[in-house]
A and B are shown apart, each in its own frame.
Chain A
Amino acid sequence: MSAPLVELKDMCISFGGVHAVDHVTVDLYPGEVVGLLGHNGAGKSTLIKILSGAYKADSGQILINGDEAHIHSPRDARSYNIETIYQTLALADNLDAASNLFLGRELTTAFGFVDDDAMEAETRKIMGKLNPNFKKFHAPVKALSGGQRQSVAIARAVYFNAKILIMDEPTAALGVHETQMVAELIQELKKQGLGIFLISHDIHDVFQLCDRLAVMKNGQLVGTAKTTDVTDDDVLGMIILGKCPPGATPGPGALVEDEAVG
């Protein structure tokens, strides 16, 4: 098999003595969806924020297509075609959809001025594909519903030809219909060869959407497994107890069997 699209090797980061991410190694191949699971505070979000440039790792290596990548800011991450949909959506509530979609990458006219009309036109195009019901192009995004806001955040991530997509709880705030929309979008992006990290609490989602999963607990990796090799209960055991089932590859955070008994 060729080099993975992304390889996070031995990542560590700590905040005031707490090891938020402790020697974690995960990888991601093109056209693959890898689910990251774990309790609140297990370190999933922190781990992907290192990849998206929001945090800087204390140690560890990021390899993209086998080459070492230096990501020190969100701008660096974007230059590697890494796009992120944050759990908080990271939208400027006072601006409209187009301004948010192009924030930090505005289209400009020949004179260097922001070209709002061109951006609105592009936004109308992509929203037409993603969410045809979307009509409020001039309202600030705070006036939009949860699903509409989510589709703005998704549009921002997919518009700029992402190769690596990070989705932090993309369906947490959504209704049934919108969740289905996100699921279809993920399948579509997979077909186009994107690699997707999907952070989720919903085990059902993970089994439906992911090819592989990685479970974290207390900042450490419990183990990774193909979704076809493990059951719901196995995964719950990994999340809650840190117990690695036979079908999974154990990581440094896996519970050693005799400790579990004791």
Chain B
Amino acid sequence: MSETALPGSDRPAARNMFAALQLDTRLLGMIGAFVVLCLVFNVFTDGRFLTPRNIFNLTIQTVSVAIMATGMVFVIVTRHIDLSVGSLLATVAAVMAVVQTDILAHPEVLGLGHPAIWVLALIAGVIVGVLIGAFQGWMIGYLGIPAFIVTLGGLLVWRNVAWFITSGQTIGPLNETFTMLGGIGGTMGESASWIFGLLAVGLVLWLQVASRRRRASHGFPVKPVWAELTLGAITTFAILGFVAVLNAYHIPAARLKRMFEAAGETMPEGLQVGYGIPYSVVLLILVAVAMTVTARRTRLGRYIFATGGNPDAAELSGINTRFLTVKIFAIMGGLCALAAAVASARLGFSTNDIGTLDELRVIAAAVIGGTALSGGVGTIYGAILGALIMQSLQSGMAMVGVDAPLQNIVVGVVLVLAVLVDIIYRKRTGE
């Protein structure tokens, strides 16, 4: 008893100040772990890990898995699992590749290089993804087949449906505009990135003020002003810092020269142009915002979390939990389609093995990000951070030169340890 009472009375001031910020301690822990990880790799790679170039690469490598991980949060929160995401990604990538190279690019349809091809292919992919997801959700919700079985079947089925669609061939090269979704081939440039960053800062600060006003208008307790200011400063710094880093990665001089030559101009001597924010990252940010709003501010999200917390209570409250399952898996399918677009655009081709083992990376990202397999708990930002941690771990070890088998052993151990830490954390905080 006395032991547990001590830490509270020891430094009450620090604790109150900390509490006033009302931060998510789990998030802080994850960010802390991530920072330590980055610093350790940075030391072992002689400073190569935390360069703009590597941070840029890490970011674009994470996007595909992170997009799917946001959907996996909903799936796991409702006590389901989706093992088919990697295979579904392959099927949708194959569909999008065939649609843009064989169908739309046909001279009688739109013709090669038509500007609408990329978006039509993307829409076709999203429709296919949503339909397949909804179909799997229907089998889970209405036929009562466990999600594990349905999606384990899906893991085999969709991987090989992809094979049939492409007859086992690699399809490509993909439409040029489409490949801009992939990462390095499509970035906003420096000025647009700064504008994007400033808009994001403005939006975040406005939301913070609006939320405070709304709470005050109801007469609820609000955070002290200094706490609000601190939070605002941290988010502003984080967003603009991120933009600055991505802008600091310069397009190689040779490539820049070719770009100028292609435009029929000569490159001024000593010019440096930063890449800026990749479009794939913009897509991830949009997905993250949309999914967070869904989770926190819509009935759908409320019902997802209620069903995860207590399925019986949700049912007794008049929530149609079966249809809810269909919706969740349809969302997952749609996100697989977006991830497929990013992954295939990054390669420039659709290959048969695209997305192999992604189901495990996606589930691991969601779980490392604090999504509980027992249901009811999970956050979108956590899953994205989880994906980033996984990717950093893998590319960091590759940079250090850790043997391939050892890399996988470490990732596996980290996954189990992360869940253990999470369980201990939950027990301590009584959450």
- A93 is an interface residue with CB less than 8 A from chain B: yes
A93 near B310: Cβ-Cβ < 8 Å: yes
- A86 is an interface residue with CB less than 8 A from chain B: yes
- A132 is an interface residue with CB less than 8 A from chain B: no
Q: Which residues of B contact A108 (CB under 8 A)?
A: 299
- A180 is an interface residue with CB less than 8 A from chain B: no
- B35 is an interface residue with CB less than 8 A from chain A: no
- B15 is an interface residue with CB less than 8 A from chain A: no
Interface residues in B261-317 by Cβ distance below 8 A to A read 293, 296-299, 301-303, 305-310, 312-317
The smallest beta-carbon distance between A102 and chain B, in angstroms, is 9
Contact A92-B309, Cβ < 8 Å, known A114-B298, A117-B218: yes
Majority-rule SS of B interface residues: helix
Give complex CA distance A104, B303 in Å: 8
Interface residue tally of chain B, by bracket?
A: 20 to 34
Interface residues in A150-209 by Cβ distance below 8 A to B read none
A73 near B318: Cβ-Cβ < 8 Å: yes
Give complex CA distance A104, B324 in Å: 13
- A121 is an interface residue with CB less than 8 A from chain B: yes
Please name the residue on chain A nearest to B308 by beta carbon: A94
Binary contact track B175-215/A, C-beta < 8 Å → 1, others 0: 00000000000000000000000000000000000000011
Tell me the count of chain A residues lying within 8 A, CB to CB, of chain B.
33
B312 near A103: Cβ-Cβ < 8 Å: no
A92 near B318: Cβ-Cβ < 8 Å: no
Please name the residue on chain B nearest to A49 by beta carbon: B316
- B431 is an interface residue with CB less than 8 A from chain A: yes
B312 near A94: Cβ-Cβ < 8 Å: no
The smallest beta-carbon distance between A114 and chain B, in angstroms, is 5
The smallest beta-carbon distance between A104 and chain B, in angstroms, is 4
Contact A104-B297, Cβ < 8 Å, known A90-B312, A120-B220: no
Q: Which residues of A contact B299 (CB under 8 A)?
A: 106, 108, 114
The smallest beta-carbon distance between A197 and chain B, in angstroms, is 16
Give complex CA distance A105, B314 in Å: 12
Give complex CA distance A95, B312 in Å: 14
Q: Residue A103 contacts which of B296, B297, B302 (CB distance < 8 angstroms)?
A: B302
A74 near B317: Cβ-Cβ < 8 Å: yes
Q: Which residues of A contact B298 (CB under 8 A)?
A: 112-114
Give complex CA distance A88, B296 in Å: 26
Give complex CA distance A93, B376 in Å: 8
B214 near A86: Cβ-Cβ < 8 Å: no
Please name the residue on chain A nearest to B429 by beta carbon: A143
B319 near A104: Cβ-Cβ < 8 Å: yes
Q: Residue B313 contacts which of A103, A113, A117 (CB distance < 8 angstroms)?
A: A103
- B430 is an interface residue with CB less than 8 A from chain A: yes
Give complex CA distance A100, B303 in Å: 10
Q: Residue A74 contacts which of B219, B301, B305, B315 (CB distance < 8 angstroms)?
A: B315
- Sorted nearest first, the 3 A-B pairs with minimum C-beta distance are A75-B318, A94-B309, A104-B317
Having A90-B310, A104-B319, A140-B431, one finds 4 other A-B pairs with CB under 8 Å, namely: A92-B306, A112-B298, A114-B297, A117-B214
Cross-chain pairs A/B with CB under 8 angstroms, 13 sampled = A54-B315, A74-B317, A89-B313, A92-B305, A92-B309, A92-B310, A94-B308, A103-B302, A113-B298, A114-B296, A114-B297, A114-B301, A143-B430
